[in-house]
Amino acid sequence: MPYKDKEIQKHYYSIGEVAKMFDVSTSLIRFWEGQFSILKPKKNRKGNRLFTTKDIDNVHAIYHLLRERGYTIEGAKKKLKENKNDVFKQVEIVRSLKKIKQFLLSIKESLD
């Protein structure tokens, strides 16, 4: 049976990598860390932030509420406190719809 290469997924991401994922500045990520209790990345001995995939999901939820839905900081905090699971479900739905849109656009492009 041939060996299949598995996509290597990192366990920890730097703040720069996370900022690049969401096209925001690192200072904004640090600000969000201070504002939202759900965002608690680990820090190494040097004090560098190390984000896990769970932390990235939390950043995605915060980004969704603030940038895509237009919530204020206080409104986003309240929404996450009241319905954290609903926010994560909405984020997943939006993510799935974006993938479907990309797929449909690629089909349209191949037909042209």
Strand partners, 49: 43
Which whole-number Å values give the CA distances from 4 to 1, 10, 34, in the listed order?
Answer: 9, 18, 42
| Count of CB atoms situated within 10 Å of the CB of 73 | 14
Token output for 64: 């969704």
Q: What percent of the chain has pLDDT over 90?
A: 79
* pLDDT category of residue 8 using cuts at 50, 70 and 90: low
Domain ranges of the chain: 13-111
Predicted structure pTM score: 0.80
Contact 61, 88 (CB under 8 A): yes
What was the pLDDT predicted at 59? 94
Please, which residues bridge with residue 50 across strands? 14, 42
Q: What is the CATH number that goes with domain 13-111?
A: 1.10.1660.10
Question: What pLDDT, in 10s, does the model give residues 12-39?
Answer: 999 999 999 999 999 999 999 999 999 9
The three-class DSSP label of residue 109 is: helix
* The pLDDT value given to residue 1: 45
